[in-house]
Structure 1
Amino acid sequence: MFTSTHWFWLLPFTVGLLLLALYNVFQKQHTILYNFPLLGYFRYFFESISPELRQYFLESDLDGKPFSRRQRSIVYQRAKDVRQTVAFGMQEDPNKPGYEWVSHSIFPLKVKHNLRVTIGNNLCKQHYSASILNIGAMSYGALSKTAIASLNEGAKIGGFAHNTGEGGISEYHLQGGDLIWQIGTGYFGCRDAFGKFSPPLFKAVAAQEKVKMIELKLSQGAKPGHGGILPAGKNTVEIAAIRNVTPLTTVYSPPAHSSFANPVDMIRFVGFLRTLSGYKPVGFKLCIGNKQEFVKICEAITLTGIIPDFITVDGAEGGTGAAPLEFTDSIGMPLYDAVAFVTQTLHLFGLQQSVKVIASGKIITAFDVMKVLALGASACYSARGMMFSLGCIQALKCDSGHCPAGIATQEKSLYQGLKVTDKKVRVANYHRHTLNAIAEMMEACGFEYISSIKPEKFFRKIDPLTTKSFKQIYFDRVDEILKERWFKTEMLN
């Protein structure tokens, strides 16, 4: 039967496989393909789809990284306004080290305050009433135009703020939502022809009514101390115009600012930005590394009398579209340690009433929000949570430009499938349901006000026989640097 002409169609296929095998026998770049000229391709194929295999076939509800299926699901459910309950009991192991919980009250109370916080001290003339949950920093360029527009319109619906990221303010940011304009080391949107900070350009943009606050970015948790690169291929005419750079050229964001090089000059620059903006709230964002440097910043605040309106603390677990593995995994202080250290330091310097703390880093659920509030934060950002509300599937392809959900991409064939009319509502839904969950948890725990949320009510399993409160873990042990500073202050007094 093999002499039948019906089998001739196999001949080109067989010859093609033979030629491919011969090629691999003579090539020197890939050992696997040299040793297994045809079967070796299966290895590369399965490696290319391994994230999808893990996510859809192998992961349990609690296994996924950076976010588990359970975390992603609660965002999807809230965004789609569908059932958010779970059945049959907890999946977490309450005896496992690291398990966390908050103590409830048998006498629940009604929350007596809306979940908002006023940002702006007595040096500020345009105070801003912010939600305790806002959209974290994500630039246009890293995200698509439809994603940015959806986030901003969702912020408008829900009455919360949208951080622009350091890529400047695009027309997609100006869909009615309140903006927190982030200024990075590249000064995109307020830079001159040489890449230096331009006061006139900054003043013009900051004057826009929808720009409610200014955030000076010193570092971010996912890659602290590391600059960025905008490849020439992504630097389109539109993006170049937004960032005030030459189109179709590679643009670098340096690791450090060119406008200052020490804590005193940095604080003076914050004061300069406040003046140029018409006295809107101005603060800075950083990932804590060297604790002594933050103490020096607080000393500079005391010395100059220029008090920032807020400080954004980004944990090492924060996300980014692209970063070196070593920076993502091994540099920077985790969020809880950082927030506790910053709030203790501000208290030591008598700044806790004047400077609000905004926490950022892997915040998804109401419990996540309440934990950072217990440690001293006044509000928080969620970036990846908001991306999930847009439909992000955690494909881990943000740095490839081929995001299948149309979020982290500039490919029109992908982002045009993300419909703003639908996604803006999902963003607002996620925010609304999460705030409702925060209020319900506060009531169950007997917290009438945001200020009632205290660290002694939150607990973590240290080992099978030891449990400690957040107060014991983060506040009862006095940091040596703070102890030394406190001792010097007492001696001077």
Structure 2
Amino acid sequence: MRNVFVVGNLIILAIVIGLYFIWSPVIWTLAILAPFTLLGLYDIFQKKHSILRNFPVLGHFRFLFEMIAPELHQYFVEGDTDGKPIDRNHRAYIYQRAKLQTETHPFGTELDVTLPNYEYMHHSIYPAKKQEELPRITVGGPDCKHPYSASIFNISAMSYGALSKNAVMALNIGAREGNFFHDTGEGSISPYHLHGGDLVYEIGTGYFGCRSDDGNFSPEKYKAQAAKKEVKMIEIKISQGAKPGHGGVLPAAKNNKEIAEIRGVEPHTTVLSPPGHSAFNNAEGLCAFIKQLRDLSDGKPVGFKLAIGNRDEFVEICEAMLKTGIKPDFITVDGAEGGTGAAPIDFSNYVGMPWEEALVFVVDTLNGFDLKKDIKVLTATKIFTAFDIYKAISIGADICNSARGMMLALGCIQALKCDTNECPTGVTTNKPHLMKGLVVSEKWKRVKNYHHETLKDFMELLAASGNTSTEQLNRSHVYKRSFNNNLLSFEEIYPSQAAGSFLKN
């Protein structure tokens, strides 16, 4: 192609010069051709891109199509059920409820119900009366002085910095108006979190917001944060599903002066949270840290979030709870499918236990040690629909959180640019001209709507199952098609552990 380009340009130049003597205005075509000729010459002599050296000018189309490939795939290639990480049907479900649009679906399911892993709930021919009051769960064990009544569907952990200030404000106001909680993420409490919504203050390995000058935990700074009236619960982030064992990542492009001041770090630098906590390094140390946080917060509920890796380590934590007598008020279970704004690809793809197995394992282990009665289980991986909530509670969760679902309610289009500071919808960027697209006064309503309409759908599913309370759900209410084509209940796949069964053995 290089030879074709050079010879072609010479031929065109000769033709133009020849025509000039017949019709002089033709010389102006050189003004149009000159930029392409110069670009082609640059392509031939540059040394970084083989495609451009071999295919001058034309090679740029390859980079153009590569740049817009995600959009081409999302809008013109992918089907309704095969998009990743969130398919079009799930995105439509969230958009419709957030905007109070049509909630019905025509012509039947698009899912192949004969495939392995197809899931469904069993219904009753004697459905119960639908309950109008949305369910709430009280979080707070024996040592908690200020139990919190939580919605069963809330905003999962997303930090200011990962999200724009407009997105954080819209989420918080939506939580306030819808009476559900807003997890701050590990980036600390910003002014944009303080618009009246209930907060779960998440403390990660970087101790942002309660960080000493040397990067360790500061009891004094934590006490000031936990005393805020908006803070209803405190969550220790041990790990998250998308990057367990790695720690959070705030790219330098998103770490502006304001965010750096809130977190207590240097601005315009990539902030990497340590993989583990410096405040503890074993199970008994975790229990002691839980007690310290509870005491410093005057008895507010304290729990921890983790993705399951080494099962023995979680068993050790349960044994430490029994030994020390110190229990968390809640445990949040994340899965390997969890979302993140920025993570190494190997951690996202190959580290951590998948959500379903992780939730089952945590619930069964707590039951086996007779701890579940005092500890609420929250879960937060790919919870988008009423059925997702129904399934999670049937497995054994008490409360569900959603991060990406709430982002979609805000207007996220899954552009997959969360880590670039170029989010086109203003959800995950701090660039002013992009944030302007997210109008807080409109978007908080969509967050509230999505929460309310999804729970309304859940109450209809609950009634269809013949039940009136979440406490009546168990693993026998949800079924899955196995690879040998059998339909098995989750109770058959994952037999429940009786309370105290591990202690008896």
- Band the TM-score falls in, shorter-chain normalisation: over 0.9
Judged with a 3 Å threshold, the aligned counterparts in structure 2 of structure 1 residues 9 and 58 are, in CA distance, closer, same or farther, namely farther
The answer for the alignment partner of 1:462 in structure 2 is 482
Secondary structure of the residue that 1:430 maps to in structure 2? helix
1:436 is aligned, of 451, 456, 476, to 456
The answer for the alignment partner of 2:85 in structure 1 is 66
- 1:102 aligned to 2:108? no
The answer for the alignment partner of 2:49 in structure 1 is 30
Offset of residue 233 of structure 1: 4.5
The answer for the alignment partner of 1:154 in structure 2 is 174
Judged with a 3 Å threshold, the aligned counterparts in structure 2 of structure 1 residues 178 and 8 are, in CA distance, closer, same or farther, namely farther
The answer for the alignment partner of 1:413 in structure 2 is 433
Corresponding letter in the other structure for 2:80: D
Deviation string for 1:383-433 (max 9, x for gaps)?
Answer: 000000000000011011100000000100000121111000000000000
* d(CA) in 2 for partners of 1:10, 1:135: 59
Offset of residue 447 of structure 1: 1.7
Judged with a 3 Å threshold, the aligned counterparts in structure 2 of structure 1 residues 316 and 5 are, in CA distance, closer, same or farther, namely farther
Superposition TM-score, scaled by structure 1 size: 0.95
Judged with a 3 Å threshold, the aligned counterparts in structure 2 of structure 1 residues 47 and 232 are, in CA distance, closer, same or farther, namely closer
Secondary structure of the residue that 2:98 maps to in structure 1? helix
The answer for the alignment partner of 1:348 in structure 2 is 368
- The structure having more radius of gyration, on CA atoms, is 2
* CA RMSD, Structure 1 to Structure 2 (Å): 1.8
Secondary structure of the residue that 1:405 maps to in structure 2? coil
- 1:17 aligned to 2:17? no
Deviation string for 1:227-266 (max 9, x for gaps)?
Answer: 2343444332211221123444443311111111111101
* d(CA) in 2 for partners of 1:490, 1:159: 41
Secondary structure of the residue that 1:350 maps to in structure 2? coil
How many residues get paired? 484
* d(CA) in 1 for partners of 2:256, 2:383: 32
Secondary structure of the residue that 1:460 maps to in structure 2? strand
Deviation string for 1:331-360 (max 9, x for gaps)?
Answer: 111111001000000001110110000011
* d(CA) in 2 for partners of 1:62, 1:233: 34
Offset of residue 5 of structure 1: 4.8
The answer for the alignment partner of 1:316 in structure 2 is 336
* d(CA) in 2 for partners of 1:8, 1:204: 75
- 1:447 aligned to 2:467? yes
Judged with a 3 Å threshold, the aligned counterparts in structure 2 of structure 1 residues 344 and 215 are, in CA distance, closer, same or farther, namely same
Corresponding letter in the other structure for 2:243: K
The answer for the alignment partner of 2:61 in structure 1 is 42
Report if aligned partners of 1:144, 1:410 keep a CA contact under 8 Å in 2: yes
2:326 is aligned, of 306, 319, 338, to 306
Corresponding letter in the other structure for 1:268: A
Matches within 5 A, 1:196-215: 196-215=216-235
* d(CA) in 1 for partners of 2:28, 2:274: 58
Corresponding letter in the other structure for 1:71: H
* d(CA) in 2 for partners of 1:432, 1:228: 31
Offset of residue 192 of structure 1: 1.1
The answer for unaligned runs of 5 or more in structure 1 is none
* d(CA) in 2 for partners of 1:456, 1:31: 59
* d(CA) in 2 for partners of 1:108, 1:411: 51
Offset of residue 171 of structure 1: 0.8
Deviation string for 1:359-388 (max 9, x for gaps)?
Answer: 111110000011110111000110000000
Secondary structure of the residue that 1:328 maps to in structure 2? helix
- 1:292 aligned to 2:286? no
Secondary structure of the residue that 1:357 maps to in structure 2? strand
Report if aligned partners of 1:314, 1:360 keep a CA contact under 8 Å in 2: yes
Judged with a 3 Å threshold, the aligned counterparts in structure 2 of structure 1 residues 434 and 31 are, in CA distance, closer, same or farther, namely same
Report if aligned partners of 1:193, 1:245 keep a CA contact under 8 Å in 2: no
Offset of residue 470 of structure 1: 1.0
* d(CA) in 2 for partners of 1:301, 1:185: 21
* d(CA) in 2 for partners of 1:327, 1:158: 35
- 1:366 aligned to 2:357? no
- Percent identical: 53
Offset of residue 42 of structure 1: 1.4
Offset of residue 486 of structure 1: 5.9
The answer for the alignment partner of 2:281 in structure 1 is 261
Judged with a 3 Å threshold, the aligned counterparts in structure 2 of structure 1 residues 104 and 417 are, in CA distance, closer, same or farther, namely same
The answer for unaligned runs of 5 or more in structure 2 is 1-15
Corresponding letter in the other structure for 2:57: L
Report if aligned partners of 1:96, 1:464 keep a CA contact under 8 Å in 2: no
Offset of residue 36 of structure 1: 1.4
Higher mean alpha-carbon deviation, 301-310 vs 237-246, is at: 237-246
* d(CA) in 2 for partners of 1:351, 1:139: 31
The answer for the alignment partner of 2:12 in structure 1 is none
Corresponding letter in the other structure for 1:115: P
* d(CA) in 2 for partners of 1:283, 1:8: 76
* d(CA) in 2 for partners of 1:71, 1:231: 29
The answer for the alignment partner of 1:240 in structure 2 is 260
Offset of residue 13 of structure 1: 3.3
The answer for the alignment partner of 1:375 in structure 2 is 395
Report if aligned partners of 1:340, 1:475 keep a CA contact under 8 Å in 2: no
The answer for the alignment partner of 2:76 in structure 1 is 57
Report if aligned partners of 2:43, 2:52 keep a CA contact under 8 Å in 1: yes
* d(CA) in 1 for partners of 2:25, 2:447: 57
Deviation string for 1:185-206 (max 9, x for gaps)?
Answer: 0000001111111101100110
- 1:133 aligned to 2:153? yes
Superposition TM-score, scaled by structure 2 size: 0.93
